[in-house]
A = this chain, B = another copy of it.
Amino acid sequence: MGSLYGSLVVPRSRSCGRVFVVVVFCCLSFLIGSSLGSKARHFKWEAEYMFWSPDCIEHVVMGINGQFPGPTIRATAGDTIVVELTNKLHTEGVVIHWHGIRQFGTPWADGTASISQCVINPGETFVYRFKVDKAGTYFYHGHYGMQRSAGLYGSLIVDLAEGEKEPFHYDGEFNLLLSDWWHQGAHEQEVALSSNPFRWIGEPQALLINGKGQYNCSLAAHFSNSSSILCKLRGNEQCAPQIMHVLPNKTYRLRVTSTTALASLNLAIGNHKMVVVEADGNYVQPFAVNDMDIYSGESYSVLITTDQDPSMNYWVSISVRGRLPKTPQGLTILNYHPTSGSKLPTLPPPVSPLWNDYAHSKSFSNKILALMGSAKPPTNYHRRITLLNTQNKINGFTKWSINNISLALPATPYLGSIKYGLKNAFDHQSPPENFPEYYDVMKPPVNPNSTQGSGVYMLGLNSTVDVILQNANALDANVSEIHPWHLHGHDFWVLGYGEGRFSKKDEKKLNLKNPPLRNTAVIFPYGWTALRFVADNPGVWAFHCHIEPHLHMGMGVVFAEGVQYLKKIPRDALACGLTGKLFMNNKN
């Protein structure tokens, strides 16, 4: 385990020479009361804008401590992570969400603006303190406006506690944090998406692997019929591909996460099969594939064996799924020792499946099952919530709605307004549990008008909740899109995927035997996805489409459970809006 041959991504220092006082007390102090061997890992971070060239074209990027992507956090299960995040932006608030970490007992550290905390204002510092209770591959990212699109993200990897063993063997590992990148700034994207007439942001200019991508050039230019230019392998460290150096006849674990704003991706490695062993921090029954889909918000570990001709190098490629691709493949190189890392592969890059070959995607999703012996879901549910995903118009503005309500986040975080019973902080009517019988999911909405709302699904603590995510036709005829839904604060079991409208007859097809535990699950065009989870984590939790422009357009809901049992919510998490006023007026 661990780095065998220069494999791990080493955060690079900022090239422009600015010196940051980055004090990282790491692996130093034992946490009082935590189990033997677990540690508090301290980080001091500054979120800031900087000029950067993710695809060799310079733009403003949101980074941390002069790095893009932000620093990788590496911890051991049971550790406590302490991130002192200082906002060095000029006029914007900031928060960071720790994607996949369930935040048991620390819902205020979930890093979701308007939900779990007030934003950190410029010049202010907020301390995120939370336990990483489960080994796995995670990441973190901004969860305010479109700051994830702006580049605020990084990796969070949790190793097994000492003495524990993975149910698979590997000799070394790599981290592949996948994202997409626009030349239009995230601020302008926000304005475009909020405009009437609506302005779509279009497809990304580049796909990035560990923050590095290619624009207006290709590493595989010599295989192309077009007159594309060969990208340079060296020269600009901000965009030069990170080459994966391997030894022959070893097994490597690739930790793959997607924090794309929009793109669903297909990952392939020329000539190498991938054995999927982990999904979203949970073990899955291993299975081998030639290529794999990964949607925004998902993470996987796959094993590859370097059993190919070591005198050659091989492509690592990502390409767009589910949307007519206008973005070139993102590429880097798997480099066999002792072959030179600058030797381009002699074979063309992997051909990705047709963008709309959903059968291929579904086949992959259906292969993901819990590792034998994993905990099974409860047999019965207490409550089933069906969530219809539709695209709508509200006063002429294009929105996404769930059961005809487009989520409009309130100024006061729900965690505080629910805890303190504030009546005017959000809509107190519970959102609908279902959608009308007569609604035809295969057609554009007959009445596309819907409303904005901020209601909350209040869940019984420790109740078992089923969610049926129901896809539908968008505003235009014959259009239904992919939406990867991500749940905060919990993992859920993915009980199954189906076509058309979910109905009674689908009930018996649900997999209660070995469904995978995940935190993100996709709905396919015109399909449904069935999830089950236990509402066992007191707090308020976002559940939303992980496509950032879709969330910005209202595609999400809010769950809350057991908030009344929470004690000692740090006041500085709620020092804004109506909770701020409440605290100031000494009425509690």
Total interface residues on A, CB under 8 Å, equals 53
- CB <8 Å contact, A581 and B576: no
B contact residues around A328 at 8 Å (CB): none
- CB <8 Å contact, A196 and B16: yes
Tell me which of B60, B114, B121, B196 contacts A576 (CB under 8 A): B121
Q: Kindly state whether residue A122 has any CB partner on chain B within 8 Å.
A: yes
Closest B residue by C-beta to A395: B19
The minimal Cβ–Cβ distance linking A517 to chain B, given in whole angstroms, is: 33
- CB <8 Å contact, A196 and B17: yes
The CA-CA distance from A18 to B409 in the complex, in Å, is 20
Q: Which one, A89-97, A368-376, A539-547, is touching chain B?
A: A89-97
- CB <8 Å contact, B410 and A146: no
B contact residues around A121 at 8 Å (CB): 93, 118-119, 121, 411, 576-577
The CA-CA distance from A577 to B92 in the complex, in Å, is 15
The CA-CA distance from A456 to B410 in the complex, in Å, is 37
The minimal Cβ–Cβ distance linking A575 to chain B, given in whole angstroms, is: 5
Complex interface residues of chain A between 17 and 37 (CB less than 8 A to chain B): 17-19
B contact residues around A124 at 8 Å (CB): 411, 576-577
Closest B residue by C-beta to A397: B18
Interface mask (A384-406 → B, CB under 8 Å = 1, otherwise 0): 00000000000111000000000
- CB <8 Å contact, A18 and B411: no
Tell me which of B93, B191, B395 contacts A49 (CB under 8 A): B191
B contact residues around A197 at 8 Å (CB): 16
Closest B residue by C-beta to A124: B411
Complex interface residues of chain A between 138 and 169 (CB less than 8 A to chain B): 144-147
B contact residues around A49 at 8 Å (CB): 187, 190-191
Q: Kindly state whether residue A584 has any CB partner on chain B within 8 Å.
A: yes
Tell me which of B147, B195, B552 contacts A50 (CB under 8 A): B195
The minimal Cβ–Cβ distance linking A368 to chain B, given in whole angstroms, is: 35
Closest B residue by C-beta to A585: B571
Tell me which of B93, B122, B191, B583 contacts A51 (CB under 8 A): B191
Closest B residue by C-beta to A142: B91
B contact residues around A575 at 8 Å (CB): 575-576, 580-581, 584
Q: Kindly state whether residue A380 has any CB partner on chain B within 8 Å.
A: no
Tell me which of B185, B395, B396 contacts A188 (CB under 8 A): B185
Q: Kindly state whether residue A572 has any CB partner on chain B within 8 Å.
A: yes
Closest B residue by C-beta to A197: B16
Closest B residue by C-beta to A92: B91
Known: A18-B396, A196-B16. A411 touches B188 (CB 8 A): no
Known: A410-B123, A575-B584. A190 touches B90 (CB 8 A): yes
B contact residues around A122 at 8 Å (CB): 93, 411
The CA-CA distance from A580 to B118 in the complex, in Å, is 13
- CB <8 Å contact, B195 and A51: yes
Q: Kindly state whether residue A503 has any CB partner on chain B within 8 Å.
A: no
The CA-CA distance from A195 to B15 in the complex, in Å, is 12
The CA-CA distance from A145 to B187 in the complex, in Å, is 15
Q: Kindly state whether residue A586 has any CB partner on chain B within 8 Å.
A: yes
The minimal Cβ–Cβ distance linking A64 to chain B, given in whole angstroms, is: 15
The CA-CA distance from A552 to B147 in the complex, in Å, is 23
The CA-CA distance from A442 to B578 in the complex, in Å, is 55
The CA-CA distance from A60 to B552 in the complex, in Å, is 18
Complex interface residues of chain A between 478 and 510 (CB less than 8 A to chain B): none
Interface mask (A109-137 → B, CB under 8 Å = 1, otherwise 0): 00000100011011110000000000000
The CA-CA distance from A583 to B146 in the complex, in Å, is 32
The CA-CA distance from A50 to B397 in the complex, in Å, is 14
Tell me which of B93, B397, B586 contacts A93 (CB under 8 A): B93
Interface mask (A417-431 → B, CB under 8 Å = 1, otherwise 0): 000000000000000
B contact residues around A584 at 8 Å (CB): 571, 575, 580, 583-584
The CA-CA distance from A93 to B89 in the complex, in Å, is 11
B contact residues around A188 at 8 Å (CB): 60, 185
- CB <8 Å contact, A91 and B147: yes
B contact residues around A123 at 8 Å (CB): 114, 409-411, 577
B contact residues around A50 at 8 Å (CB): 191, 195
B contact residues around A571 at 8 Å (CB): 581, 584-585
The CA-CA distance from A585 to B146 in the complex, in Å, is 33
The CA-CA distance from A190 to B409 in the complex, in Å, is 28
B contact residues around A194 at 8 Å (CB): 90
B contact residues around A190 at 8 Å (CB): 49, 90-91
Interface mask (A504-537 → B, CB under 8 Å = 1, otherwise 0): 0000000000000000000000000000000000
A91-B119, A121-B577, A123-B409 given. 17 additional CB < 8 A pairs?
Answer: A16-B196, A17-B196, A18-B196, A19-B395, A90-B145, A91-B145, A93-B121, A122-B411, A124-B576, A185-B185, A185-B187, A572-B581, A575-B581, A575-B584, A580-B580, A583-B584, A586-B586
A-B CB contact pairs (8 Å), 6 listed: A18-B196, A51-B199, A90-B552, A93-B122, A121-B121, A580-B584
